[in-house]
Structure 1
Amino acid sequence: MSQNNLSSLEKKIIEILQSYPDASIPIPLLVEALGLSKKKGERKLKNAINRLKQLEHVMVSKGNLVRLNETASGDKNIVQGKLDVTSHGDGYVIVEGRDQDIKISRKYMSTALDGDIVKVKLMGYHKKSNKPLGRIEEVIKRASTLFVGTLDEVAKNTYIIKTDSHSSRVDFFVELNDLNGAKPGEKVSCRMIQWDDVRGYPQAKVVQVLGKSGSNEANVLSILAEKQFHAEFPPEVEQFAANIPDQIPEQEIQRRRDMRDEVVLTIDPADAKDFDDGLSIEILDNGNYYLGVHIADVTHYMPRGSTLDDEAFDRGTSVYLVDRVIPMLPERLSNNMCSLRPREDKLAYSCFMEIAPNGKLVDYSIEETVIHSNERFVYDEVQDILDGKNDHSLKPQLKILQKLANTLMDQRFKKGSIAFETPEPKFILDDNGKPVDVIVKERLFAHKLIEECMLMANKTVAYHVNTLRKKGGKSVKNDHPYLYRVHDKPDLEKLHNIRETAKPLGIHFDVDGSISSSKINALLKEVGGTSIEKIINDLMLRAMSKAEYSPKNIGHFGLGFANYAHFTSPIRRYPDVVVHRLLKRYNSGSTEYTYTQLEQIGEHCSERERYAVEAERDSVKLKQVEYLSERLGETYQGTISGVTENGLYVLLDDIYCEGMIRVSDLVDDYYIYNPNMHCLVGRSKGKKFRLGDTIKAKVTRTDLEKRQIDLALSDF
């Protein structure tokens, strides 16, 4: 569109937006960038923006965020990206370099399925949300996505897989030769073979029989398959692990720093079997702490490019479900060869840190070691020792670790770490995996002790590589590329939404101008101990950018660290394996991965981690639904955690799970949704249901397949 008739101010606005074509910029930042005065300048700027909006040069979204109108120029109408399909059947296309995903309604999806790379035509923006809308024009590349459903014989030798609502928006037909032994009524995972016409069924073949539909085993395996995980290892991977010698060669011990005569201890959950980190601690003559963080040396047993390494990369991470662990490495490695089990010689990769009493890092070294763990502690046991309830020969070491951890934690929060405290439910299961009780996990100082030591080691190894790069004086891409754990600043528009959510509750959240961790911590502190603490914590977590793995070091906003990498869990995280390899290679004066390879590894591992987190949450929700399925009609106290025009979301306090009261079930009045006040208001009686209110709710219905809980007000 022509800019000939624009004022000089309007042209300057366009120039700034063109410099950041994929960004949404707050009006206060534009005022500052243009050097305008705060009051008169902002009024003048808003008038200019309104005119640009009328001329279709710009879009203005919630929170007064301004961005270029992409559909105003034809060359940006077609984009390419990856399709992510929701459980409701709508999709979002993720396009690299864009800060907003493109929403695709079900009717514009064509034959595209979840995970496909697609070509999209931009069709404008949603009237209310200003989110970009699009239509899929072409499937560029099919994904090898696993789908989950129940096999049904609709006619003789005619089979359909009726997919779960969480898995796919379409059902599949299966030919007799592609059943893979599946029988009608069984839950299966499948992959699509072809789909050429949107008017017909896509064709698929069965990959795995998950069990009888509705059984606990089928439900859990379905969650894994939905998130593209599988439990069993290929035979060649198991064979590779089986061929690894049990004994550590003497020459391997000789070339390492021998820590077997030093006190090393591990602290883990009571049911843990993969002990990937150990600690040693002492006070030096100069009064400084000398902390050793000893990590299982997985890379010694897993050569790059081996069948074992390829499988670990594909998995990317271990998955921790309520009733089982799906490990990244075969059990022989994760629970035996690599696990730092007590009173056994083990190979480790260790980060030794000299730390001043004020928590400042004075010196460090990163070395290959051999250790001999003296004690395998569990968290409750350590807490009792620290509290003086029990005694132990290693109590002096634990008390030193306690003092150091307190110092490190204090320093971390002073420098900008965000203090999230999110309670988690813990299930008591019977022998069949059925939940018989649910409690909220207690977070002990013993947990924080381990966490602070691991954070310190992760921060130190990242600092080390940055130091090497500064000595080299070359570009990041060419000199010591590294795989960082990065965390960008939160989404400003979502923070504006939190401010609007908190305002009716009498809480002020300042998000004008720049956002800082201190502002976020102030809000979290203000709501601490109130009925809306969980609500605000959840909203803030959703507003946060997702932490990712990348060779581009932008720092870690949530932790307040300029340099951070994952080093401490190579048994269960593939990025830690990569970090170990990089550190070892740089220590020997050679290289291991290119910057481009690390970009690709980071993208893959970040995606696998997201899927693992979703699977873990789904398994928790499944057990919550199972638990309440046996308690229909029972009443619980809860807190209104969300209000929509469709009804109320209620978080049940004792069991920490969420269900919904539909507005149609509020039968004492006709309720109207007030989005500004986050409440439903009765038209006749004026009764209000507000975010944060405490109510009593009765369990009326559960759906295991959809993992949904329906509630009703027990007061009616």
Structure 2
Amino acid sequence: MSKSKKEIFEEIILDILRSNPKVQIPYNALQNILQVNGKKDNDRLKGAINSLFDRNLIVKRKGGAIQLAADKSGDSGSKNVVTGKMDISRRGTGYLITDAFDEDVRISSKNLGVALQDDIVKVELLKRGRDKRREGKTLEIIERGRSMYVGALKKQGKDNYIIESDQKSAHIDFFVLPDNIEEATPGDKVAFELVDWVHPKSLPEARIIEVLGKEGSNEANLLSILAENQIKVGFPEEVEAYAENISEEVPEEEIMRRHDIRDKTVFTIDPEDAKDFDDAISIEMLDNGHYYLGVHIADVTHYMPRETTLDEEAYKRGTSVYLVDRVIPMLPEKLSNGVCSLRPHEDKLAYSCFMEIAPNGTLIDHTIEETVIHSDHRFTYEQAQEVIDGGQNEYSMEVNMAAKLAHVLLDKRFREGSINFDTPEPIFVLDDNGKPIDVKLKERLFAHRLVEECMLMANRTVAKHVKMMRRRSSKKTTKDLFPFFYRIHDQPDLEKLKNIEENVQPFGINFHIDSPTVSSKAINMLLEEIEDTSLELTVNDLMLRAMAKAEYSPNNIGHFGLGFENYAHFTSPIRRYPDVVVHRLLKSYAAGKPGYSYEELKKIGSHCSEQERAAIDAERDSVKLKQVEYLSQHLGEEFPGVISGIMSSGIFVDLKDIHCEGMIRVSDLDDDYYEYDEKRHCLIGRNHGKKYQLGKEMRVKVVRTDVKARQIDLELVDDGE
């Protein structure tokens, strides 16, 4: 028996109120939502409201507004209700990530309600599904997870507009009223915000906030990636105005207050296209045979006091973002490329860490000082490498001395437990329209290592410095005594390491995981064993995925990947907000004043870690986009590859020339019926026993690309057998 219109009204009203339990909805708003036209519909609506009121399901408020009745059953504390973050697949199935269980709670599309990607929601647990998986139903949206979404504006009919959402942004399309279209025209890619979503059977309403460009254009594609990851490009006017008012001249009284080392030889080594020079180096040999290394960092905090509009914006961003063809800076250009940048032949304010280091790499003594520097020379990595390889330069002595020290520090670091990751990075040659015309793997020079080792030493030293301050203090507890902001890295995921163990065993590689922890020595031995083999790229990637994500926190658990007990980020305040925090803490403690509280640092750490993850995702997405665009021009062409992953649905193949992953679907392997062997992590032909497993080299053809979804489909040409 079909429901009456009054009953349908009751059902929709209850759904809306349950999704918004604290909201009072005016009568006229209900009329708009339910599209009530004429006296009959109005009477039905009043009847529905009275029926719900008589059953104590709603309460009536002033002016005819209604609200959900208070739940007296105590359901919020029930074991059948959990809270978590919503992750929605491309197929529209939700997965609630919750601390309550190790596994996610699956929510079918019909039970999603008005939840969107990344929302914090309350979910009612239902009976387990046939596969024994936990199932749930959305009860309430606690907090929307995104401030903006991305899609393409389309016109439907005379005055109707729809935004087709990008898959990563939202699982549903939105409608937008003509008044909320701004300057957009059909065919534009747009960033938009949610106005309201009243019922799962209706479309959510959107308001366009930015036109990203014509759908499919390079500009629209890259700006979409930023918007998908909640990253804004332009700075608010008041922030730009604040930056523009900062003088580039260094006042004489500030020079007098600082350690003036403008007479010391100082140089920078950076990428050829860099403009934001965060760090500079000085080095000399002391009479006792020790190195005296100076790492000089742009003194951003001098120009950016706490609680200013500039500081608030830098905190929101958390980090600069480096896409394939552009940088989205944390600070306005006036600061990042001008006032703070340690450009050659200019007096600059710096915060310097001076380290006396023994010939074996041991730190003997150190000081951390506010300085004035004058960079004598700007090297690119390639120019510095020429000097290391024997080329002549006015500063050859200093560069070679730094290279010799870097060798010592690098060897010492690996001996003491640092993990030796060296994953190739694709570099794109783009035409004037941003179209990739060539791709190659970035060459890893020792000049990169030189800078890296000097920066790691400084970062490690400032963290040790605070530990020493605590030791000198008479107080016993350290949580509230000189709280500090560490870069931490937990132990790797043992299940993922077990997976690597099982994958490399068929190749005769002995990598055993038989205890709750794993040593960095065992990981390094594995990485050495697979070096220059077909497994190298794949196992490196699998190992990186097994690693915990590095984070920022005042709770120092050490850095597993580097093998350091004490480590902080000090060397890049132009592009990382955590380094700004570290500078402020060090300056406060040097002046005998408190800095940030432990609780403040926990909050900042959580936010900065989240912003860093968004930036990494955006950077990876931009690389994948250019790889797909590049291969779109090479359809039908063949490439050498190696199997990098296997699922029941297909084989992932890494194209060795461009370090780009595509997929061969199992349905396209027509020489046999292949089954996935979960224990051995391989596909095996049922009739002929042919096996596809990790590390197998093959030749593949690019058959399909999807730029919008950033996917590559491959076809097997030759499996080498």
Equivalent residue in structure 2 for 1:508, among 507, 510, 519: 510
Distance in 2, matches of 1:461 and 1:435, equals 42
SS of alignment partner, residue 714 of structure 1: strand
2:437 maps to 1:436: yes
In structure 1, the gaps of 5 or more residues are 1-73
Letter of the structure 1 residue corresponding to residue 218 of structure 2:
N
Secondary structure of 2:574's aligned partner: coil
Question: Larger deviation: 218-227 or 500-509?
Answer: 500-509
In the alignment, structure 1 residue 409 sits paired with structure 2 residue 414? no
Task: Tell me, in whole angstroms, the C-alpha distance in 1 between the residues paired with 2:468 and 2:199.
Answer: 57
SS of the residue corresponding to residue 387 of structure 2 reads: helix
Q: What is the deviation of 1:505?
A: 2.9
Whether 2:429 is the aligned partner of 1:447: answer no
Check 1:544–1:98 CA distance in 2 against 1; reply closer, same or farther (3 A cut).
farther
Counterpart of 2:595 in structure 1 is: 592
What is the match of residue 490 of structure 1? 492
Q: Residues 625-662 of structure 1, C-alpha deviation per residue, up to 9 Å, x if partnerless? A: 11111111111111111121111111111121111111
List per-residue Cα deviations over 1:369-393 (Å, max 9, x = no partner).
00000000011111111111x2011
Deviation at 1:341, TM superposition (A): 0.2
Taking structure 1 as reference, are residues 510 and 619 closer, same or farther at Cα in structure 2, changes over 3 Å only?
same
Choose the corresponding residue for 1:154, options 141, 153, 156: 156
Counterpart in 2 of 1:674?
677
**8 Å Cα contact 1:459-1:563 kept in structure 2:** yes
Deviates more, 1:469-478 or 1:632-641: 469-478
Q: Counterparts of 1:132 and 1:462 in 2: how far apart (Å)? A: 44
Match of 1:249 in 2: 251
Question: How do 1:30-45 residues align onto structure 2 when only pairs under 5 Å count?
Answer: none
Tell me how far apart the structure 2 counterparts of residues 126 and 464 of structure 1 sit (CA, whole Å). Answer: 55
Going from structure 1 to structure 2, the CA distance change for 1:127 and 1:438 (only over 3 Å counts) comes to farther
Q: Which amino acid aligns with 1:628?
A: L
Change (3 A) 1:486 1:167: same
Change in 2 beyond 3 A, CA 1:411/1:567: same
- The 1-side partners of 2:343 and 2:98 are apart by 45
Q: CA deviation at 1:131?
A: 7.9
Instruction: Output aligned runs, 1:263-282, within 5 Å.
Output: 263-282=265-284
The residue type paired with residue 413 of structure 2 is R
Contact 1:319–1:326 (CA under 8 A) maintained in structure 2: yes
Question: In the alignment, which residue of structure 1 is the partner of 2:364?
Answer: 362
Matching residue within 302, 305, 320 for 2:304: 302
Report the secondary structure of 2:247's partner residue.
coil
Task: Give 3-state SS (helix, strand or coil) of 2:627's partner.
Answer: helix
Distance 2:129 2:286 in 1: 63
| Secondary structure of 2:497's aligned partner | helix
Q: Structure 1's 183 and 491: CA in aligned 2 closer, same or farther, altered over 3 A?
A: same
Separation (CA, whole Å) in 1 of partners of 2:674 and 2:301: 61
1:167 maps to what in 2?
169
Q: Is the 8 A contact 1:115 1:145 kept in 2?
A: no
Q: Is the 8 A contact 1:119 1:139 kept in 2?
A: yes
Q: Distance in 1 between matches of 2:429 and 2:718?
A: 30
Is the 2:82–2:100 contact (alpha carbons within 8 Å) kept by the matching residues of 1? no
Report if the CA contact (8 A) 2:146-2:230 is conserved: no
2:326 match? 324
1:495/1:543 contact within 8 Å kept: yes
Shift of 1:491: 1.1
Amino acid at match of 2:283: I
Larger gyration radius, structure 1 or structure 2 = 2
Q: Offset of 1:126 from its aligned partner?
A: 8.7
In structure 2, how many angstroms separate the alpha carbons of the residues matched to 1:507 and 1:122?
44
Instruction: Give the total of aligned pairs.
Output: 641
SS at match of 1:463: helix
For residues 674 and 372 of structure 2, the distance between their equivalents in structure 1, rounded to whole angstroms, comes to: 68
Which residue does the alignment assign to 2:339?
337
Q: 538-547 vs 517-526, which deviates more?
A: 517-526
Report the counterpart of residue 601 of structure 1 in structure 2. 604
Aligned residues with identical type, % of pairs: 59
Q: Kindly state the Cα deviation for residue 238 of structure 1 after the two structures are TM-superposed.
A: 0.8
Structure 1 residue 98 displacement after superposition: 7.2
SS at match of 2:373: strand
Q: Residue 440 of structure 2 contacts residue 657 of structure 2 at CA under 8 Å; is this kept in 1?
A: yes
1:424 equivalent to 2:425? Answer: yes
* Counterpart selection for 2:665 from 662, 666, 670: 662
What is residue 371 of structure 1 aligned with on the other side? 373
Provide the C-alpha distance between the structure 1 equivalents of 2:87 and 2:610, rounded to a whole number of angstroms.
Answer: 12
* 2:559 corresponding residue in structure 1: 556
Q: Does 1:617 align with 2:616?
A: no
Could you give the per-residue CA deviations for residues 293-329 of structure 1, whole angstroms, max 9, x where no partner exists? 0000011111111111111111110000001111111
Amino acid at match of 1:669: D
User: Which secondary structure state, in structure 2, belongs to the residue aligned with residue 660 of structure 1?
Assistant: strand
1:79 Cα deviation after fit: 3.2
CA distance in 2, matches of 1:115, 1:637: 38
Deviation at 1:91, TM superposition (A): 4.4
Structure 1 residues 252-304: Cα deviation after superposition (integer angstroms, max 9, x where no partner): 01000001000000000001010000000011111111110000001111111
CA distance in 1, matches of 2:111, 2:531: 44
Q: TM-score, normalised by structure 1?
A: 0.86
Using the alignment, how far apart are the partners of 1:516 and 1:627 within structure 2? 40
**CA-to-partner distance for each residue in 1:400-433, whole Å, 9 max, x for gaps?**
1111111111111111111111011111111111
Deviation at 1:356, TM superposition (A): 1.0
1:705 to 703, 708, 718: 708
Are 2:577 and 1:579 aligned? no
Instruction: Supply the distance in 1 between the matched residues of 2:100 and 2:396 (Cα, whole angstroms).
Output: 52
Q: What residue is the counterpart of 2:292 in the other structure?
A: 290
Report the CA distance shift for 1:375/1:660 in structure 2 as closer, same or farther (over 3 A).
same
Task: Specify the alignment match of 1:688 in structure 2.
Answer: 691
Structure 2 equivalent of residue 458 of structure 1: 459
Match of 2:230 in 1: 228
TM-score where L is the length of structure 2: 0.86
Distance in 2 between residues matched to 1:599 and 1:131, nearest whole Å: 34
Conserved 8 A contact 2:266-2:282: yes
Which shifted more, 602-611 or 229-238?
229-238
Q: For the Cα contact (< 8 Å) 1:185–1:213, is it kept in 2?
A: yes
User: How large is the Cα RMSD of the aligned pairs?
Assistant: 1.9
Between the aligned partners of 1:98 and 1:454, the Cα distance in structure 2 is: 40
Match of 1:404, as an amino acid?
L
Conserved in 1, the CA contact under 8 Å of 2:430 and 2:436? yes
Which residue does the alignment assign to 1:33?
A: none
**Structure-2 change in CA distance of 1:580 and 1:432 (3 Å):** same
Q: 1:375 to 1:508 in 2, by over 3 A?
A: same
Kept after mapping to 2: 8 A contact 1:280/1:292: yes
Decide whether aligned partners of structure 1 residues 637 and 225 sit closer, same or farther in structure 2, where only a CA change above 3 A counts: same
Look up the SS of the partner of 2:664 in the other structure. Answer: strand
User: What corresponds to 1:3 in structure 2?
Assistant: none
Contact 2:84 2:99 in 1 (8 A): yes
Measured at CA, do residues 604 and 553 of structure 1 come closer, stay the same or move farther in structure 2, by a change above 3 Å? same
Match for 2:595: what amino acid?
E
Distance in 1 between residues matched to 2:544 and 2:127, nearest whole Å: 29
User: Greater CA deviation, 340-349 or 662-671?
Assistant: 662-671
Q: Tell me, which stretches of 5 or more residues in structure 2 are unaligned?
A: 1-76
TM superposition shift of 1:594: 1.1
Q: Which residue identity is paired with 2:670?
A: V
Q: Indicate if the aligned counterparts of 1:89 and 1:168 stay in contact, CA closer than 8 A.
A: no
CA 1:446–1:99: 2 relative to 1, 3 Å: farther
3-state DSSP of counterpart to 2:440: strand
Deviations 1:206-256 (A, max 9, x none): 111111101111000000000011211111111111111121110001000
**Cα pair distance change 1:121/1:452, threshold 3 Å:** farther
Note if contact 1:679-1:690 (Cα within 8 Å) is conserved in structure 2.
yes
